[in-house]
Copies of this chain bind each other. A is one copy, B any other.
Amino acid sequence: MKTIVSYQGERGAFSEQAAKAYFGKNSTAIARESFHDIFQDVAKRRSSYAVVPIENSLFGSVHQNFDLLWKFKVYIVGEIKLRIKMNLLALPGVTIKDVRYVYSHPQALGQCEKFLRTLKRVAVTPFYDTAGAARMVAEEHRRDSAAIASSQAASDYRLKILRAGIESDHKNFTRFLIIGRKRIIPRRHPKTSIIFATKNIPGALFKCLSVFALRNINLLKIESRPIVGAPWEYLFYADIEGDAGEFERVNALNHLQELTTYYKNLGSYETGGNVNP
A205: which B residues are within 8 A, CB to CB? 209, 219, 222
Decide if A212 touches B206 in the complex (CB within 8 Å): yes
Please give me the residue from chain B that is nearest to A126 by CB atom: B128
Please give me the residue from chain B that is nearest to A224 by CB atom: B223
Decide if B203 touches A213 in the complex (CB within 8 Å): yes
How far, in angstroms, from A230 to B207 measured CA to CA in the complex? Answer: 29
Decide if A218 touches B202 in the complex (CB within 8 Å): yes
**Contact A224 to B226, CB < 8 A, known contacts A209-B206, A213-B203, A216-B203:** no
Asked if A60 CB lies within 8 Å of chain B CBs, one says: yes
Q: What distance in Å separates the Cβ of A191 from its nearest Cβ neighbour in chain B?
A: 12
Decide if B225 touches A60 in the complex (CB within 8 Å): yes
Asked if A169 CB lies within 8 Å of chain B CBs, one says: yes
Decide if B216 touches A57 in the complex (CB within 8 Å): no
With beta carbons under 8 angstroms apart, the residue of B60, B203, B218, B234 that contacts A226 is B60
Please report the total number of A residues contacting B with Cβ < 8 Å.
Answer: 36
Asked if A93 CB lies within 8 Å of chain B CBs, one says: no
Asked if A196 CB lies within 8 Å of chain B CBs, one says: no
Asked if A273 CB lies within 8 Å of chain B CBs, one says: no
A221: which B residues are within 8 A, CB to CB? 224, 232, 234
Q: What distance in Å separates the Cβ of A238 from its nearest Cβ neighbour in chain B?
A: 10
How far, in angstroms, from A242 to B111 measured CA to CA in the complex? Answer: 39
A229: which B residues are within 8 A, CB to CB? 169, 171
Q: What distance in Å separates the Cβ of A152 from its nearest Cβ neighbour in chain B?
A: 22
Asked if A59 CB lies within 8 Å of chain B CBs, one says: yes
Asked if A28 CB lies within 8 Å of chain B CBs, one says: no
Which residues in chain A, 47-65, are within 8 Å of chain B measured between CB atoms? 55-60, 63
